[in-house]
Amino acid sequence: MRLRISLAQSGFEFGEVEKNFVHAAEWVAEAASDNSDLVLLPELWASGYDLSNWRRYATPLDEGLFPRVAELSRHHEIAVGCSLLEEHDGKAYNTFVLYGPDGARWGAYRKIHRFRLLEEEKWLGAGDELGLIEAPWGPTGLAVCYDLRFPEMFRPYALKDSKLVLIVAEWPERRIEHWAKLLMARAIENQCFVVAVNKVGESLGVKLGGRSAVIDPWGVPLVEGDDGEALLTVEIDLREVDKVRRFIPVFEDRRPDVYDPDI
């Protein structure tokens, strides 16, 4: 199956939700006009990391910005994925939602790994389920930024036949080579496409790195951004995953019987 994907490598204005929403809507419209099937917006694109004021932004999944993003999907007839602050049981979560072209929510994933350098553990709850969803093109894994550093999170996606992993991020320029290499590693070791969008501009005085990319199952970037705003679009063929997995049958050669069960 072929899939046309756009990455909205975007800047944002800290805490300016309405301005950021207008900007995001423009990206979605442009991706739809380019006949993309899916567009990804970066991590916390609406608010940025204003976590101490999370109550200003966070809402349940059926309120606030969530239905507005769903309406963007429906209006432009394109799948849209992004992360927003969700309020759930009195806590805030960094939640990756994916909406179909009819506005239906295909899935929601609450970020599991909290980044201590930004005090996420102080302000955010931790998700307790992996983000494997059923999309029309097949099982799809979801991840958010810091999750990329945890390979054990991605292996279950591949073992459950996911051919595609989607990642939204706010990754700094100072560690951008880690980002680029980890994207390739996750693609190679799981023999899948990795689709990752990152912010640009500045956040809390730190320059963000961009370098959004789509990586194929061999670890080859099919498209990659620089450090400026851009809509990056590429078409992938998910059948390539099956070819790679047949050529090097890594999953048939696994030895879970001798692995540490706690890993």
Active-site residue list: 43, 111, 145
Q: Which of 126, 124, 75, 130 is nearest to 107 (CA)?
A: 130
Residues 6+ apart with CB under 8 A from 118: 49, 51, 204
Sign of the alpha-carbon dihedral angle for 177, 183, 185, 186 = positive
Positive or negative: CA dihedral 67, 72, 77, 82: negative
* Residue 126, φ and ψ in degrees, nearest 5: -105, 130
Three-state DSSP class for residue 88? strand
Q: What is the DSSP string of 22-77?
A: HHHHHHHHHHHHTT-SEEE--TTTTT-S-GGGGGGT-B-TTSTHHHHHHHHHHHHT
Query: What is the per-residue DSSP string for 138-152?
Result: EEEEEEEGGGGG-HH
Contacts with 196 (C-beta within 8 Å, 6 or more apart), sequence order: 7, 148, 166, 167, 168, 169, 179, 183, 212, 213, 214, 215
Residue found by looking up tokens 């498209």 in the block: 223
